[in-house]
């Protein structure tokens, strides 16, 4: 379960536990009640909203299915427009299919409102993943759905044994998920990219040291990290 979902559930529980009922026969003054609630709130929760944000708790995050393709394409078109396919990252995705085991969608009341995909890539002699596109229905932006998807996909990717993830995006948004700028001119995309927006998250220590070369999409079998390849050879 994504970390954001767990936090919302804990927060709602703590809100109930620390709510002070009105004194029998009279209501507390609002200022007094707020001061009493603040005094009883655990230090770790002070300054945080104890109310779940939007409708995040009513969502389902699951692995992408083939039947989701049309809805995901519609989301991407709505978010990026017809010029999306000329972007460097999309050129990489045209070279190889995304990994269906690490591509996820978010549903809200049965409607698909978010998607994130991972595509196997090679950078020089190293193999990793290219994240994206991360897309959320425009009307749902700013409600935490994109960040919840990011936490989920990065945790699943880490557990699957992949050594690093590259993406093209804004550093302030992706910094909390472990993404840092690549060394300038070390990694090259098949098209123009602002170097400040070419980011990497190292999931296995030391795996991005000296990382350099052209980013190309590759087939899943060729992209399996050493950890997963050894497991398959051993019959695991």
Question: In 3-state terms, what secondary structure has residue 114?
Answer: strand
Give exposure, 173-182, as e/b (b: 16+ Cβ within 10 Å).
ebeebbbeeb
pLDDT (0 to 100) of residue 17: 36
> Which whole-number Å values give the CA distances from 183 to 168, 170, 189, in the listed order?
14, 16, 13
**According to the model, what pLDDT value does residue 89 have?**
84
Which residues share a beta bridge with 108? 59, 111
The pLDDT of residue 23 is 34
Residue 134, pLDDT score: 95
Which of 197, 196, 211, 200 is CA-nearest to residue 177?
200
CB atoms within 10 A of CB 201: 22
120, burial (CB in 10 Å: exposed 0-12, middle 13-18, buried 19+): buried
**Between 3-18 and 145-159, two packed helices, what is the crossing angle to 10 degrees?**
120
Cβ pair 116, 154 in contact under 8 A: no
Per-residue confidence (pLDDT) for residue 122, from 0 to 100: 94
Write down all domains in the chain, each with its CATH number in brackets: 3-45 (no CATH), 56-223 (3.40.630.30)
CA atoms of 15 and 38, how far apart (whole Å)? 11
pLDDT at 222: 67
* Residue-level pLDDT at 176: 96
Q: What is the pLDDT along the chain (236 residues), one digit of tens a residue?
A: 444 434 444 444 443 333 333 333 333 333 443 444 344 333 333 333 333 344 556 889 999 999 999 999 999 888 877 655 557 788 898 899 999 999 999 999 889 999 999 999 999 989 999 999 999 999 998 999 999 999 999 999 999 999 999 999 999 999 999 999 999 889 999 888 999 999 999 999 999 999 999 999 998 776 665 445 444 444 44
């Amino acid at each position: 379960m994504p970390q954001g979902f767990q936090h919302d559930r804990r927060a709602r529980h703590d809100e109930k536990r620390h709510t002070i009922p009105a004194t029998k026969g009279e209501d507390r003054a609002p200022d007094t009640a707020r001061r009493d609630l603040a005094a009883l709130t655990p230090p770790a929760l002070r300054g945080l909203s104890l109310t779940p944000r939007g409708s995040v708790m009513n969502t389902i995050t699951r692995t992408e299915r083939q039947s989701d393709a049309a809805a995901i394409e519609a989301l991407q078109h709505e978010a990026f427009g017809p010029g999306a396919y000329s972007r460097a990252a999309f050129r990489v995705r045209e070279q190889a299919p995304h990994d269906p085991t690490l591509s996820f969608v978010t549903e809200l009341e049965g409607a698909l409102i978010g998607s994130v995909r991972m595509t196997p890539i090679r950078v020089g002699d190293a193999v990793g993943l290219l994240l994206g596109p991360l897309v959320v229905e425009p009307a749902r932006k700013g409600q935490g759905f994109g960040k919840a998807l990011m936490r989920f996909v990065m945790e699943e990717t880490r557990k699957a044994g992949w050594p690093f993830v590259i993406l093209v995006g804004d550093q302030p948004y992706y910094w909390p998920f472990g993404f840092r700028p690549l060394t300038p001119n070390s990694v090259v995309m098949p098209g123009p990219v602002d170097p400040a927006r070419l980011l990497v998250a190292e999931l296995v220590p030391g795996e991005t040291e000296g990382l350099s070369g052209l980013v190309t999409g590759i087939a899943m079998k060729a992209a399996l990290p050493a950890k997963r390849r050894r497991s398959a050879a051993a019959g695991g």
